[in-house]
Structure 1
Amino acid sequence: MNDTYAFIEAEKAVHGVAFPCRLLEVARSSFYAWLSARKTRAARRASDEALTHEITVIHLASRGTYGVPRVHAELRRLGRCVNRKRVARLMREHGIQGAHRRRRRLLTRPDKRARPART
């Protein structure tokens, strides 16, 4: 949808706003709402970049072992009030992943003296 609104903004000098909106079946009010939220989106993007830098520093300081819960806890300890889901989204988008051990747990142990089943 952002591409549609960006196209309308690029073409509004030539055709105005009403014609491209009608052609692309987009409400003009939606276009103007998108246009007015430009500063908010830019501020959010800058905030996300700063937070991503902090997350990267914390992750590297832990030698790549901290995942989302520990990074979030460290940010809270440092005084950054940030949502855990936002931290998870930024870590996922930038490919930052904590280390985890996979332990294989066998639930059944075969009896070595048992006869094999007949087929």
Structure 2
Amino acid sequence: MIKTEFNLYSSSLGFDQTKHRISKSIKSYNELRPHASCDYLTPNQAHLQSEILNKRWKNYNRSFNHEKAIV
């Protein structure tokens, strides 16, 4: 999602510029962009909340059996 939203597929940048762009994108994603799954708070704001957030996300791996994971 971050790659698409912040257009990080470009390979024409050098390593240092790419690293800077990725860091800037992650910071923006976590500190500036509100998320529907976090009641339209940023992830950083949601982390600071004392209340429990409503679960608004889906688990995509529904076929995983927890009994099989127990060793």
Provide TM-score, normalisation by structure 2: 0.30
The structure in which a higher percent of residues are helix is 1
Larger radius of gyration: 1
